Structure 1
């Protein structure tokens, strides 16, 4: 396959979040690859131009890079107490698994995965210098997890295949779990109404 490039405009974290919120939707083939179902992906891919999927997957990959580095900044800050640090490292591991699946999928589609920036670049874009307490670190992580939850939920409506929708829902469920645990650790109440995610 030809290498598909990602527009430079999607490199910044703010651009990635905005792109996902504005309706970036994956094809059935891309979600099948994320699920590890190459046969289903091949059946769908023959009918589609994969360049749009590569762009959307690279946006998601950029969000995963950002989350991994945000947890690294939190872990390295010295602000997290031991039990909270353990959970942060576990969540970072989840994001690394998501990252690896996204990279493999982008490559199978003939695309070039967006590169991870340096930790210092994430520190600047996330304003890590403003983190002065454990609560500050948790608040940052919760905001990023909520954004990831909504981004993954945004792809589900376009999927006609139940198995593909299940994969997208599982990714969103991981992010929702992270958000809920972090919100609870901050002592904040649960969202007051039903259907509060993905709106």
Structure 2
């Protein structure tokens, strides 16, 4: 794997980890909206906290989801993925689109403006897509990102005082772990031999 690609992957994992470290400040109402529970959000309005700060945090998450969606788009349109693997990439992209849609809906309900998606070419440059030469390169990059995201979500769960937010993070970690496992299998890599391999 190209060292530039490795560096970019490490940078994105660090960005996601920094974002997750700040989500513990989300208000109870925002957490309820993100989880799709409008009634609970209305009940928690008295404890709402700083809505502008919540919108800012959610927009960072939305930016990361835009990047993930476009990363999978670049892989899918590269011509490097064979049909069964291509189907998996499109499926994973749909999961990130669902995350995006939930974030957009929450930001709008809070009266904020969702951060806009960049052009595909911008993501291609940021992800150094030109360095990806074959299917294994694409899958290796995706697997690194998914594993980094898994560990970031799991690592931040204990810091949440709000159990609803911890649950949202755990559900996201479950998605990312599933993605990593399938990508590792497609690369012919063995599953972890030890128990409690994730989030350490």
TM interval, shorter chain, is: 0.7 to 0.9
Q: Is the 8 A contact 1:139 1:186 kept in 2?
A: yes
Tell whether 2:63 aligns with 1:53: no
Which ranges of structure 2 fall in alignment gaps of 5 or more residues? 1-10
Counting only pairs closer than 5 Å after superposition, residues 17-166 of structure 1 correspond to structure 2 as: 17-20=16-19, 22-25=21-24, 26-47=26-47, 48-166=49-167
CA contact (8 A) 1:142 1:183 kept: yes
Give the deviation of 1:164 after TM superposition: 4.4
**Structure 1: stretches of 5+ with no match in the other structure:** 1-11
Shift of 1:112: 1.8
Distance 1:56 1:136, change over 3 A: same
Indicate how the Cα distance of structure 1 residues 134 and 16 shifts in structure 2: closer, same or farther if over 3 A, else same: same
TM-score, reference length from structure 1: 0.82
Q: How far 1:121 sits from its partner (Å)?
A: 0.8
**Change over 3 Å in CA distance of 1:163–1:23 after alignment to 2:** closer
Native 8 Å contact 2:27 2:50 kept in 1: no
Q: Per-residue CA shift, 1:155-184, capped at 9, x if unaligned? A: 533444544433332222111111111112
Q: Is the contact between residue 58 and residue 114 of structure 1 (CA under 8 Å) also seen in structure 2?
A: yes
TM-score (norm 2): 0.82
Cα offset, 1:59, TM superposition = 1.7
Is the Cα–Cα contact under 8 Å of residues 23 and 154 in structure 1 kept in the other structure? no
Tell me whether 1:167 sits opposite 2:165 in the alignment. Answer: no
Rounded Cα–Cα distance in structure 1 between residues aligned with 2:67 and 2:151: 16
When the two structures are aligned, how many residues end up with a matched partner? 188
What is the aligned-residue RMSD (CA, Å)? 2.4
Query: How far has the Cα of 1:23 moved from its partner?
Result: 4.3
